[in-house]
Amino acid sequence: MKIELNQTVRPERVLTGLPVSPGIATGTAWMSEGNQLQSPVYTLSRDLVEAELARFAEAQAAAIRQLKKLKGKAAALPPNAAEEVETLLDARIQMLGDSRLVRGVRQRITDYLINAEAAISDEIAILVEGFARMHDEYLSARADDIREIGDRLIRHLLGTPFEAFKHLPEGTILIAEDLSPADTMLLDPSRIAGIAGMLGGMDSHTAIVARSLGIPAVLGVSGLFDGVEAGDSVVIDGSAGRVVVNPQAETERDYARASASLEQDRVKLATLRHLPAVTADGVEISLHGNLERPRDVAAVYETGAAGIGLLRTEFLFMNRTTMPSEDEQYETLRDVVLGMGGRPVTVRTIDIGGDKLAPAVREHLGEPDSALNPALGVRGVRLSLAHVKLLEMQLAAILRAARHGPVRILLPLISCVDEVVSVRTVALRVLRRLKRRGLDVHDTVPPIGVMIEVPGAALSADALAMVSDFFSIGTNDLTMYTLAIDRDEDRLAKLYNPLHPAVLRLIQFTVEAGSRSNLPVAICGEIAGDARYTALLLGLGVRELSMAATSLPRVKQRVRSLNLAHATKVARSIMEQHDPARIGPLLDTLNAV
């Protein structure tokens, strides 16, 4: 695929957003919307019509939700632009209500027994043709709206990524409205130089995956689609949260210099790879890597990580239409374990839900997406326990992979002791079954740990310690649930603050409970990978941090430069503060000493 360069001379324009993935990228804009989607066409048996109509209704509801969210964002634009965008979005929301389009699609599914994607494509084609015949400028603009709605609906139905991602050329800057974590997973960093998105928060999984791939990204950019056109030359400054459109020659030179200096830094930091993560006063700290795509295991190994502290297995279930079998899961995990060459691998059972969608799993289980409040719904361990076969299959794969190297099992979204006990019972049963099948497994179940990411779990840490082998604090969700702020919501990004005293107290409480029970306590949320927090976290007693491979060298540098006595003082001063707004600046001052 070739991207046409925009030849019109347009003035430089700077848009701002959240600096979610550091680094500088220069390239050519490619708009992820308006792309030709590939959708399947098939016929249905009559008894499947009701289910297909329900599937279409779900996509319709999801598209309306998304447009309403975008409408919320439009409020941040200058008044005139806001009004225009809102009117446009309202018209689209209306078309997704009880409209000719929706009625037509439903009728086609029922009368012609075809799948929803095919029904949408056919209905849109007829409507667009009708508009085109009228040779009216206003109506031809409506045809574009209708096409856009069709694409949006099909995207929701497919729940699968843009085919076109695969074919984008080197140096592409992806301009997206609402890039999903599953789509981000498919980006090839050798082609996609940078990302700018309208929606998404600092610790959204889209941001996490971009960071782990090392693709500079800015999310939550207001006015993105007014400011950039396909083919524009764009600079993404993922460290400052800037998107510079059509940069002038001087701006380009400045960014080229900044980029060269970042590269020098990176090369320097890479030399720390073989050095131990030991503080200046001799305390050893375990620095682990987080892993989303199993094929990136070598990148974690290369950083000299002590192990994998968080393998987000839910990503194995995305971007596919069928469930992975036990054997497929086993083979993938085995390769990760072997790839780490004897260093421990912490495998988290699937954490689908919230912003991590895996339509194939939900469909297979007959589980609808919790429409009202997905973050509080059937996600994480709740989904696994509600569908024990799914859990059994995953545990069987993990127990078999454990034969190839040290493995730990980690449970997401635990909120009570019973859940841990139940998983342990299932694990023992699965182990017995595997032995009966004559498979090569250890005699015991690997250590089972829990994510502390729900405030209730942090406050029950004493009780959870009695049934767990280790804790891993998930500060991304812990911050979200403690402060009641969606981690995906860019408009509340300023309030989403892991340094809020309430979050820090829950971390402290957990670390103390762990220490009373001699339980290792790690942090695997995004603060673990930010060197700004290292002194504070070590000062609170944490001795294991797990982070994106790309963050590990800088955190190691910080560990090696600090003294634990100083870190303890930093933690004490921070814990005495009550005002969330003052904690960040105070931490920066203490870090500078």
Residue 368 is encoded by which pair of tokens?
């609808």
What are the tokens at 386? 């509600």
Going by C-beta distance under 8 Å and a sequence separation of 6 or more, which residues neighbour residue 348?
Answer: 310, 311, 312, 313, 409, 410, 411, 412, 451
Of all residues in the shown chain, the one whose CB is closest to ligand PEP is 474
Residues of this chain, 302-321, that bind ligand PEP according to CB under 6 A: 310, 312
Stretch that binds ligand PEP, among 117-125, 137-145, 174-182, 469-477 (CB under 6 A): 469-477
Give 263's Cβ-side CA count (13 Å radius).
Answer: 8
Q: Taking the chain, what is the end-to-end CA distance rounded to the nearest angstrom? A: 52
Of 279 and 290, nearer to Mg ion (C-beta) is 290
Nearer to ligand PEP, 288 or 362 (CB): 288
Spatial distance between the Cα atoms of 405 and 537, rounded to a whole number of angstroms: 29
Options 183, 453, 488, 490; binder of Mg ion; rule CB under 5 A: 453
Instruction: Residue 124: name the closest of 143, 103, 97, 111 by CA.
Output: 143
Task: Tell me which DSSP letter residue 169 carries.
Answer: P
What is d(CA 175, CA 225) in angstroms, rounded to the nearest whole number? 8
Q: Give the span between the Cα atoms of 313 and 332, in whole angstroms.
A: 10
The smaller minimum CB distance to ligand PEP, of residues 124 and 485, is found at 485
Please report, as residue ranges, which positions from 337 to 366 form the binding site for ligand PEP (by CB under 6 A). Answer: 351
Q: Nearer Cβ to ligand PEP, position 147 or 505?
A: 505
State the Rg of the chain over Cα: 25
Per-residue contact track with ligand PEP, 195 to 214, x per CB under 6 A? -------------x------
Which residues are known to be catalytic? Answer: 205, 524
Site for Mg ion in 221-250 (CB under 5 A): none
CB of 399 to ligand PEP, least distance (A): 22
96 vs 410, which CB is nearer to ligand PEP?
A: 410
Candidate ranges 63-71, 212-220, 468-476, 534-542; the one touching ligand PEP (CB under 6 A): 468-476
Q: In the bound complex, which residue of the shown chain has the CB atom lying closest to Mg ion?
A: 477
**Binding segment toward Mg ion, per CB under 5 A, in 129-137, 235-243, 336-344, 477-485:** 477-485
Q: Shortest Cβ distance from residue 395 to ligand PEP (Å)?
A: 19
The letter for the amino acid at 313 is T
Given 197, 474, 514, 553, the residue binding Mg ion (CB under 5 A): 474
Q: How far is CA 29 from the centre of its chain?
A: 22
Distances (CA, A) of 20 to 74, 269, 270, 366: 21, 21, 22, 34
Which pair of tokens denotes residue 334? 């085995």
| Interaction of residue 489 with Mg ion, rule CB under 5 A | no
Q: Which x/- pattern over 405-444 shows residues binding ligand PEP (rule: CB under 6 A)?
A: ----------------------------------------
In whole angstroms, how close is the CB of 216 to Mg ion at the nearest point?
24
CA–CA dist 79, 87 (Å, integer): 12
Q: Which of 215, 222, 245, 176 is nearest to 18 (CA)?
A: 222
The one of Mg ion, ligand PEP, none whose footprint includes residue 21, by CB under 5 to 8 A per kind, is: none
Q: x-or-dash pattern for ligand PEP, window 445-464, by CB under 6 A?
A: --------x-----------
| CB-count exposure of residue 211 (10 Å: 0-12, 13-18, 19+) | buried
With CB under 5 to 8 Å by kind, the binding choice for 329 among ligand PEP, Mg ion, none is none
Task: Spell out the SS3 assignment of 293-358.
Answer: CHHHHHHHHHCCCCCEEEEEHHHHHCCCCCCCCHHHHHHHHHHHHHHCCCCCEEEECCCCECCECC
Q: Which is nearer to ligand PEP, 505 or 560 (CB)?
A: 505
Question: Segment near ligand PEP (CB under 6 A), from 147-155, 280-288, 388-396, 473-481?
Answer: 473-481
Q: How far apart are CA 314 and CA 460, in angstroms?
A: 26
Q: Which among 160, 184, 191, 254 has a CA at the least distance from the CA of 21?
A: 184
Least Å from the CB of residue 112 to ligand PEP? 42
Q: Which residue of 177, 477, 486, 544 would you call a contact of Mg ion, by CB under 5 A?
A: 477
Per partner kind, with CB cut-offs from 5 to 8 A, the member of Mg ion, ligand PEP, none near residue 475 is ligand PEP
Dihedral sign from CA coordinates of 392, 394, 398, 401: positive
Among positions 515-544, residues that touch ligand PEP (CB under 6 A) are 524-525
**382 or 442: CB nearest ligand PEP:** 382
For Mg ion, the closer CB: 411 or 431: 411
Residues 6+ apart with CB under 8 A from 146: 95, 101, 124, 127, 128, 131
Which position among 303, 329, 346, 476 is part of the footprint of ligand PEP (CB under 6 A)? 476
**Beta carbon nearer to ligand PEP, 152 or 487:** 487
Q: What residue ranges bind Mg ion (CB under 5 A)? A: 453, 474, 477
Q: What residue ranges bind ligand PEP (CB under 6 A)? A: 208, 310, 312, 351, 453, 474-477, 524-525
